[in-house]
Every structure is written in structure tokens, then in C-alpha cells.
Amino acid sequence: MFAHRDKDQTKLDLITVESKADIDNWVSKYPAEQKRSAVMAALRIVQDQNSGYLTDELIEAVAEYLDMPPIAVQEVATFYSMYERKPIGKVKICVCTNISCMLCGSDDVVEHLQNKLGIKLGETTGDGMFTLKEVECLGACVNAPVMQIGNDYHENLSKEKIDKLIESMDRL
Ligand code: FES
């Protein structure tokens, strides 16, 4: 039994004290027997802790922390586009290409960004600065086309708007 507890602690130690406190805050929003409901928040928190991507070990640590089967956490981590499974750039640009954005020019947004950054969708610039990603509806269709950078939405995109944004980020 003791060896088993030691192994569990090793997994749990992958989650920082700050992240645990943050996860606990989310867990407290649900009934005690439903702490698995915090799994999406927990994955986001440990992803932020790890420079923006999830490793198998971190997914297992979240499973351990929330008393969930690792496969159930793995399924969540692979289903939603906000989770990354490999290292990404310092700035992640998520362009919505769903129906409203597509009708309002998301193809042009993607093409402009690809040309400007010299990468294709799903790739990261050589300097590790930008990752470009295609995502499903961001829920801001009324202001399409839309992209998300970090926690911020950028709406009614034009080439000029994109250029200004990228240039401001290049100086980060
Ligand atoms: S379709 Fe792009 S935000 Fe909804």
C-alpha cells in the first residue's frame, strides 16, 4: 500500500502548488462526489503551467488528482481543440474557420497569416514565437471573422488589423 501511495504522490507532484490551489477552487464549485466536473479547468490549468501544452504525465496527474481513470482524462484532452499535446509557440493564434467566419472571409485571414508568418496551419514559427491553429466556432459569430490569441478575442478581422496585432506581438 505504501509503495502505491508513493507512486501516486510522484504523479501529484507534477502539479504545482499554485495549480493545485487553482484546481481546488474549481472543484469547490461542484458537489463533493462530482469533482471530475473540474477536469476541463484542471487540464487548462496544468497546460498553462507547462508552457501551453499537455504531456501524458500531466494528464495522468490530473486523473490522479481528480480520482478519474486516466483514459477518461485523455479523451477530454484529445477531444477539445484548446488543449495542446505538443510544444507550441509563445503566442497561439486560433483562427475560427467555421461557417459564419468562413462566409465572412476566414480563408483570407488564414492565407494572410500563413504568408505573414511563413507557416501553415498547425505549425510553429522557427523562432518559437507563433503557432497558427484552425479552430471551430468561438461563439462570436456576430463579429466574424474572429481569431483568439491567449484569452483575447479579435473580431471583424481585416488584413490591416492582423498586421497591427502581429507587429505588436513581435515586440513581446
Ligand atoms: S463561426 Fe466563427 S465565431 Fe462562430
Query: Which uninterrupted H or E stretch holds 123?
Result: none
Where does 91-170 sit in CATH, by number?
3.40.30.10
Q: Does residue 117 line the site of ligand 1, with CB under 6 A?
A: no
**Alpha-carbon torsion 40, 46, 52, 55, what sign?**
negative
Q: Does residue 144 line the site of ligand 1, with CB under 6 A?
A: yes
| Residue with more model confidence, 98 or 4 | 98
CATH fold for domain 2-79? Arc Repressor Mutant, subunit A (1.10.10)
Pocket probe for ligand 1: among 95, 109, 137, 142, the residue whose CB has the most ligand atoms within 8 Å is 137
Pocket probe for ligand 1: among 81, 94, 98, 110, the residue whose CB has the most ligand atoms within 8 Å is 98
**pLDDT for position 171:** 59
pLDDT-based confidence at residue 7 (cuts at 50, 70, 90): low
Q: Is the pLDDT of residue 142 over 50?
A: yes
Q: Determine the atom of ligand 1 nearest the C-alpha atom of 106.
A: 2
Q: Does residue 62 line the site of ligand 1, with CB under 6 A?
A: no
Q: Is the pLDDT of residue 145 over 70?
A: yes
Identical fold at 2-79 and 91-170? Answer: no
DSSP 128: S
| Domain positions in the chain | 2-79, 91-170
Pocket probe for ligand 1: among 81, 109, 110, 138, the residue whose CB has the most ligand atoms within 8 Å is 138
Asked if 50 and 18 count as a contact pair (C-beta separation under 8 A), the reply is no
**Sheet of 130-135, strand order:** 130-135, 91-96, 147-149, 152-154
**Closest to 157 (Cα-Cα) out of 126, 115, 111:** 111
Q: Which of 27-31, 65-69, 140-144, 166-170 has the lowest mean pLDDT?
A: 166-170
For residue range 79-136, list pLDDT tens digits in order. 998 999 999 999 999 999 999 999 999 999 999 999 999 999 999 999 999 999 999 9
Average pLDDT over residues 6-24: 90
